[in-house]
Amino acid sequence: MEINIEIIPKYVKPEFQLLNMLIEDILKNKKLIYSLSEISVPSLKGSKLLFLERFVKKGIHYTFKENSGIILPVSHYNISKNNISFFLSDTFKKAILEENIFSVLELKYILKFEENFTKYFYYNFITDVEDEKNIIISLEDLRNLLNLKEYERFYDFEINILKKLKKDIDLKTNYILGYEKIKSGEFKNNKVTAIEFSIYNKISKIKNEQVNELMTLIASHVKDFKYTYNILYKALEYLPLEELKKYLKLILKNIPNNSNIDEELNKFINNKFRLSKYEKIYEISENFKNPLKMQNFIYKKLAGMVDLEFLKDNLTSTEFLKKIYFAKDGEQLFFENENIIISIKYFRSKESSIEVFQRKE
């Protein structure tokens, strides 16, 4: 797939630094509020406001598949007393968090590159590498691909292009780039005609080792080894190893003897992924004699926390009681609207758990 982005007008170095700070903080789920003294906002024609106005007007021009257009990263900013707040456009924020079609642009990496030519290499050879990959490309084709006219002498090409390309990939992405020169003959002074690149996913090896560790915990309950392995591999993208271990042990404790874990694990992982966009604001574990007791308890506890209309529509109806009565013992049930999810695991003979999640800002 042919992909390209261009920033028009181009960002200057302070603008790149500011944008990357915002991206890093969004990925860490931080609010984009800073004191004016902690961010480096230079003056433009003697005015810092003029610099900020120019910064928010710049857009990312993109093309991929049959799509083309412009994304404005920052919709606006607000200065109040000694603080400045930045507000990313919804499209850009979701692209960074890989929640819309623009995740294919991989902007959280591309916008960090110091060299413009790195993006061409990344889009053509790296985006789909899950583990490792080797490619051989002629020097002429590589020049054309990277849109380069200068550095005819290979020594200069290596210093100014290959080494900088490797540095960009190694330091700014989850990959390691290696390269070997291919010459026209075996002698030292023979002309370099092609480059063999090796691309390694930094986290792939670590994740494979972690998945193997998890598989040893559940091996006797696994029916489809490859299917389960892939589920765990994907889960490690957004769940820490120790948390995953903890939940696997919990699943093992509650599934019947001689049954396979594949279906339960898939359900659990999908639920965790679903909740990854929310933050937990309340949880409790309690013994309930019957679903009606639990229904009354939930209404009293959550009445001041959750919208009453939502509670009435979802938790005080006979439909709620039916779902609880017919659910498997310990099955995770969800009651939700666009901002709130209430997760309930009802056990007939032990503590049930109730968790309330609110969508992250």
Half-sphere exposure of 165 (CA within 13 A, CB side): 25
Torsion of CA 195, 196, 202, 208, to 10 degrees: 170
Question: Is the pLDDT score of 40 beyond 80?
Answer: no
User: What CATH number labels 116-202?
Assistant: 1.10.10.10
What's the pLDDT band for 332 if we cut at 50, 70, 90?
A: confident
Sequence spans of domains, the chain? 3-110, 116-202, 222-276, 278-361
CA distance 142 to 124: 11
Residues 3-110, CATH architecture: Orthogonal Bundle (1.10)
Task: Compute the mean pLDDT over every residue in the chain, rounded to the nearest whole number.
Answer: 87
Question: Is the pLDDT score of 45 beyond 90?
Answer: no
What's the pLDDT band for 5 if we cut at 50, 70, 90?
A: very high
What's the pLDDT band for 157 if we cut at 50, 70, 90?
A: very high
Give residue 259's pLDDT.
65
Q: What angle do CA 91, 97, 101 make, to 5 degrees?
A: 55
What's the pLDDT band for 138 if we cut at 50, 70, 90?
A: very high
Mean local confidence (pLDDT), 16-41: 89
DSSP reduced 3-state for 132: strand
What's the pLDDT band for 258 if we cut at 50, 70, 90?
A: low
Question: Is the pLDDT score of 140 beyond 80?
Answer: yes
DSSP for residue 220 = G
Give residue 361's pLDDT.
63
DSSP reduced 3-state for 52: helix
Give residue 281's pLDDT.
86
Q: Are 347 and 329 in contact (CB under 8 A)?
A: yes
Looking at per-residue confidence, does 354 or 62 come out higher?
62
Highest-pLDDT range among 68-77, 143-152, 245-254: 68-77
Helix %, strand %, coil % of the chain (to 5) = 45, 25, 30
Give residue 185's pLDDT.
83
Looking at per-residue confidence, does 102 or 205 come out higher?
102
Question: Nearest to residue 286, comparing CAs of 193, 223, 350?
Answer: 350
Q: Do domains 3-110 and 116-202 have the same CATH topology?
A: yes
What confidence tens digit (pLDDT) does each residue in 270-288 have?
777 777 778 888 888 888 8
CA distance 305 to 284: 14
Give residue 139's pLDDT.
95
What's the pLDDT band for 136 if we cut at 50, 70, 90?
A: very high
Any idea how long the chain is?
A: 361
DSSP for residue 69 = E
Torsion of CA 52, 53, 56, 58, to 10 degrees: -110
Q: Are strands 175-183 and 132-138 parallel, antiparallel or unpaired?
A: unpaired
Give residue 322's pLDDT.
86
Question: Is the pLDDT score of 263 beyond 70?
Answer: yes
CA distances from residue 289 to 225, 258, 352 in whole angstroms, order as listed = 39, 30, 10
Q: Are 321 and 291 in contact (CB under 8 A)?
A: yes
Token duo for residue 18:
């500011």
Mean local confidence (pLDDT), 58-73: 94
Q: Are 315 and 305 in contact (CB under 8 A)?
A: no
Question: Is the pLDDT score of 113 beyond 90?
Answer: yes
Q: Which residues contact 27 (CB under 8 A, 6 or more apart)?
A: 96, 97, 108
What confidence tens digit (pLDDT) does each residue in 198-246 have?
999 888 878 888 999 999 988 888 888 888 888 888 888 777 888 888 8
Mean local confidence (pLDDT), 52-61: 93
